[in-house]
Homo-oligomer: A and B are copies of this chain.
Amino acid sequence: MAYNLLKGKRGVIFGALNEQSIAWKVAERAVEEGAQIVLTNTPVALRIGAVSKLSEKCNTIIIPADATSVEDLENLVDKAMVHLGGKIDFVLHSVGMSPNIRKNIPYEAIDYNNFFKTIDISALSFHKLLQVLYEKDAMAEYGSVIALSYIAAQRAVEGYSDMAEAKAMLESIARSFGAIYGRKRKVRINTVSQSPTLTTAGQGIAGMADMYNHTNNLSPLGNASAEECADYVVTLFSDLTRKVTMQNLYHDGGYSTMGISAEVLKK
């Protein structure tokens, strides 16, 4: 069901790879809600993914960009504004990757070159994006920027490795830049801390299926799906949430405030 929540709004969506991607669902929902969007991902992701299918569906273009490259981001923002015909109202940052996780290196023995890649891709890219947007004054007043996070930023999750630090940093960037961007240009910046989701990225984490089932059992409403995340993100892009900023918002069926469940203990 669509409500025209984003009618007339212009957005940029990072990180759609295939139909499982949260970013894919957000793109679809944003367009359903009346927005015009531009898609972006790395050249590699564009090659292996199915993004051109999504761009057709959304009747839009793909602007390739490596989110760790300020130059690429500048090019992206310039072209997006041209294509969309004005300032940007919303941005989704769904970007993350840890070579340490990919190579199954345990957290207590991580490789530090990998670590810097994890941080650059998964957290610093968010600062770079915000800095480019800010310098170009590319966001419309009360524009909304959202990055996807995970509870490992606050609590130890075995197997999530150095992505925990990346997400902690990501959430910090939302607060630090949010204070400045809010005061100066009324732009709001938040992170959504989502349930484990069976995306291509999620499935790269060792023990993901166990984590998924554990949180699904423990969360009173069960895990939130990619589709539900897209619904939620749409509300945060809309004009109805204009005073929500610098927050980390749990979208997790209640997992984050669930302590001990008698039912789960019984199992």
Contacts and interface: CB of A to CB of B under 8 A. Distances in A.
A78 B127 CA distance: 39
A112 B232 contact: no
Interface stretch (A13-21, A35-43, A87-95, A179-187): A179-187
Contact of A157 (B3, B181, B259): B259
A1 to B, nearest CB: 7
A221 B134 CA distance: 16
Contact of A5 (B3, B168, B172, B186): B3
Contact of A183 (B195, B220, B228, B266): B220
Contacts of A238: 235
B259 A151 contact: yes
Of A207, A242, A260, most B-chain CB atoms within 10 Å? A260
A176 B169 CA distance: 14
Interface residues of A, number: 94
Interface string A146-182: 0000011111111101001101110111011111111
Nearest to A232: B241
Contacts of A175: 154-156, 164, 257
Contact of A164 (B116, B152, B176): B176
Given A165-B172, A168-B169, A246-B257, 10 more contacts: A107-B177, A151-B259, A195-B243, A221-B245, A223-B243, A228-B243, A231-B241, A232-B243, A234-B240, A247-B254
